């Protein structure tokens, strides 16, 4: 009994760690998908546009972009520029059939969508090129990135530690999200910051909400040790778990120093700041990793 009481106390202390309060609620879909990994994402999905040649230069050898699909899916497409998906958030309450603990984690991920991974000319995939992932061991997030062959996996610390965004008081008296800052564990003076305040102006957005949701839900691929690896995360935008509603954002991604694996984001000679448009959400997701790539074809 004493051992049981001690274990219960340990669990309570762990759950009550200061700074680990999140705006989002616990996983509402675990019982719906008992055979899959499910969880909650609290953060933003944003798009930055980069030089087309720079984007092409970081693709794996032998694959190319699906220009026809890109033009069809993105109303504000540009011939000389290409979108980069930036996922910046906090993932928590991860559940799986095997009951193995998968720790919460912060993540800032830079991914190229509309990639013709299958060579079929019609099925768009996402390719993750650089990922800042919570520095901890064991880390399911780091392990998965390694198995997908993500070229630049950067164990990092995040501020805020256990939420996607701290909140600041805006000039209108309402709370506005501040920065999510990622700091590589080996070079903590280097910072990658994603700011995504609510877009208050009515200017046109280069990517619509539904367009961005479809990009987020494109299957993913990578080049692992034994060849191509594929999977799909389905973000269930209808399953909000904390925020009252989807919020449109306009902000920037910025670096405080040169960062080789993110050089492709910025034009030569420009500042290390990039305008981004996105959506802030608290939503559930379900994962299917390491599936037959052809099974994901449209």
**Closest CA relative to residue 40, chosen from 147, 143, 137, 164:** 164
CATH fold for the domain made of 37-296: Acetoacetate decarboxylase-like (2.40.400)
Angle value at C-alpha 93, between 35 and 208, nearest 5 degrees: 90
What is the rounded distance in angstroms from the CA atom of residue 255 to the CA atom of residue 235?
28
> What pLDDT shows up at residue 138?
77
> What pLDDT shows up at residue 164?
73
> What pLDDT shows up at residue 240?
67
pLDDT higher than 70, residue 6: no
Residue-by-residue DSSP string for 174-197: SEEE-EEEEEETT-TT--EEEE--
> What pLDDT shows up at residue 9?
26
**Closest CA relative to residue 152, chosen from 173, 172, 182:** 182
> What pLDDT shows up at residue 158?
92
Q: Please tell me the least confidently modeled range out of 89-93, 192-196, 267-271.
A: 267-271
Residue 79 has, within 13 A of its CA and on its CB side, a CA count of: 0
How would residue 63 be classed by pLDDT, with cut points 50, 70 and 90? very high
What residues pair up with 148 in beta bridges, in sequence order? Answer: none
SS3 label, residue 140: helix
Structure tokens at 224: 């692992």
pLDDT in tens, 65-86: 999 999 999 998 888 999 999 9
pLDDT in tens, 201-259: 888 999 999 999 999 999 999 999 999 999 999 999 987 676 667 889 999 999 999 89
pLDDT higher than 70, residue 98: yes
16: Cβ contacts below 8 Å, ≥ 6 apart: none
> What pLDDT shows up at residue 1?
36
Hey, where are the domains in the chain?
37-296
**Closest CA relative to residue 145, chosen from 297, 293, 289:** 289
Q: What is the DSSP letter of 210?
A: H
Q: What is the pTM of this model?
A: 0.89
* CA distances in angstroms from 233 to 160, 241, 253, listed in the order given: 25, 17, 24
Angle value at C-alpha 235, between 107 and 182, nearest 5 degrees: 10
> What pLDDT shows up at residue 250?
93
């Amino acid at each position: 009994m004493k051992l049981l009481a001690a274990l219960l106390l340990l669990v309570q202390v762990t759950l009550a760690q200061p700074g680990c309060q999140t705006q989002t609620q616990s996983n509402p879909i675990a019982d719906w998908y008992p055979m899959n990994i499910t969880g909650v994402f609290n953060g933003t999905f944003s798009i930055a546009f980069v030089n087309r040649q720079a984007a092409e230069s970081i693709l794996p050898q032998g694959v190319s972009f699906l220009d026809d699909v890109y033009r069809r899916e993105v109303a504000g497409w540009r011939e000389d520029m290409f979108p980069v998906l930036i996922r910046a958030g906090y993932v928590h309450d991860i559940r799986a059939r095997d009951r193995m603990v998968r720790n919460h984690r912060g993540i800032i991920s830079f991914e190229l969508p509309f990639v013709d991974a299958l060579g079929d000319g019609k099925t768009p995939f996402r390719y993750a090129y650089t990922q800042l992932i919570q520095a901890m061991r064991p880390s399911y997030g780091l392990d998965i990135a390694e198995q997908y062959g993500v070229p630049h996996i950067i164990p990092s610390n995040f501020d805020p530690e256990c939420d996607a965004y701290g909140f600041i008081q805006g000039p209108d008296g309402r709370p506005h999200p501040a920065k999510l800052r990622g700091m590589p564990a080996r070079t903590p003076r280097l910072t990658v910051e994603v700011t995504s305040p609510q877009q208050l102006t009515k200017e046109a957005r280069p990517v619509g909400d539904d367009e961005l949701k479809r990009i987020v839900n494109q299957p993913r691929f990578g080049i692992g040790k034994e060849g191509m690896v594929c999977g799909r995360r389905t973000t269930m935008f209808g399953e909000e778990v904390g925020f009252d509603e989807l919020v449109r954002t306009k902000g920037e991604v910025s670096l405080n120093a040169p960062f080789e694996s993110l050089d492709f984001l910025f034009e030569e000679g420009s500042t290390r700041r990039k305008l981004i448009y996105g959506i802030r959400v608290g939503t559930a997701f379900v994962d299917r990793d390491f599936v037959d790539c052809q099974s994901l074809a449209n």
